[in-house]
């Protein structure tokens, strides 16, 4: 029975193969490593840096806001049909709900357009409106009434968690967009400098 001899790799081939693997590893580390976060020129040349987690939060928030608004009205009518409303619940909560209902579509639009179109102003407006009045209003919804129904407390707590997550993610997304805009401006200035030097030498 014939036996096959295994070809032995010599030192030169092993060295060339090792160098090729090392170069590929260095290139991959340069593209996928910390350079994406630390190199401002790498960020500025990116085509689109829309924040995917923020977009997902805005999408789920748009659905949950409609459900929460309908639920709040139903629970408010049900609760005070059987119990006497205190002063805060009778006057403050409906006013807060009206403010929330007016601001929420505008806030979500600012977040969606600012994130997808990389508009710093819109994303900053989304962040500020998330903190006030929306987050503040939901804190009052949970803390101001004399009593809360269990489902009312659970739904309000979920909305608070969602708003807090949006505030955190949108803050970092806004910082990233500002960083990108600054880097793009620096690249534009540096690319114009050789032209200006050439014109000055003429």
DSSP 8-state code for residue 118:
T
Over residues 115-172, the pLDDT tens digits come to 998 899 999 999 999 999 999 999 999 887 777 888 889 999 999 999 999 999 999 9
Q: What pLDDT score was predicted for residue 192?
A: 64
Spatial CB neighbours of 159, under 8 Å, sequence gap ≥ 6: 64, 65, 68, 138
Q: What pLDDT score was predicted for residue 84?
A: 79
Is residue 66 in some structural domain? yes
Give the residue among 129, 197, 121 at the shortest CA–CA distance from 163.
129
Phi-psi label, residue 183: left if phi above 0, alpha if psi -120 to 50, beta otherwise: alpha
Q: What is the C-alpha separation between 128 and 125, in angstroms, rounded?
A: 5
Q: What is the C-alpha separation between 32 and 37, in angstroms, rounded?
A: 10
DSSP 8-state code for residue 46:
-
Overall domain count for the chain? 1
Q: What pLDDT score was predicted for residue 34?
A: 41
Contact 120, 178 (CB under 8 A): yes
Is residue 139 in some structural domain? yes
Q: What pLDDT score was predicted for residue 69?
A: 96
Peptide bond connecting 140 to the previous residue in cis, omega within 30 degrees of 0: no
Instruction: Give just the sign of the alpha carbon dihedral 35, 36, 40, 43.
Output: positive
Q: What pLDDT score was predicted for residue 44?
A: 45
Is residue 173 in some structural domain? yes
Please list the ranges in the chain whose pLDDT falls under 50.
Answer: 1-3, 6, 9, 14, 28-29, 32-44, 195-196, 198-199
Is residue 124 in some structural domain? yes
SS3 of residue 202 by DSSP = coil
Is residue 194 in some structural domain? no
Q: What pLDDT score was predicted for residue 26?
A: 54
Q: What pLDDT score was predicted for residue 41?
A: 42
Is residue 129 in some structural domain? yes
Q: What pLDDT score was predicted for residue 195?
A: 46
SS3 of residue 199 by DSSP = helix
Is residue 12 in some structural domain? no
Is residue 94 in some structural domain? yes
Query: Which residue range forms the structural domain that includes residue 94?
Result: 51-189
């Amino acid at each position: 029975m014939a036996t096959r001899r295994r070809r032995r790799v010599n030192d030169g081939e092993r060295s060339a193969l090792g160098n090729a693997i090392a170069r590929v590893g260095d290139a991959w580390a340069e593209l996928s490593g910390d350079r994406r976060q630390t190199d401002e020129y790498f960020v500025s040349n990116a085509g689109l840096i829309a924040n995917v987690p923020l977009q997902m939060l805005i999408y789920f928030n748009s659905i949950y806001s409609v459900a929460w608004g309908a639920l709040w009205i139903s629970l408010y009518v049900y609760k005070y049909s059987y119990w006497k409303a205190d002063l805060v619940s009778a006057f403050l909560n409906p006013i807060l709900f009206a403010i929330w209902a007016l601001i929420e579509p505008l806030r979500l639009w600012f977040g969606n357009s600012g994130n997808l179109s990389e508009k710093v102003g819109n994303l900053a407006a989304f962040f500020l409106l998330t903190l006030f009045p929306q987050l503040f209003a939901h804190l009052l919804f949970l803390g101001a009434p004399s009593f809360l129904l269990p489902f009312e407390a659970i739904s309000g707590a979920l909305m608070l968690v969602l708003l807090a997550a949006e505030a955190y993610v949108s803050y970092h997304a806004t910082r990233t967009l500002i960083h990108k805009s600054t880097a793009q401006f620096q690249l534009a200035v540096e690319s114009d400098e050789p032209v200006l030097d050439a014109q000055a030498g003429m």
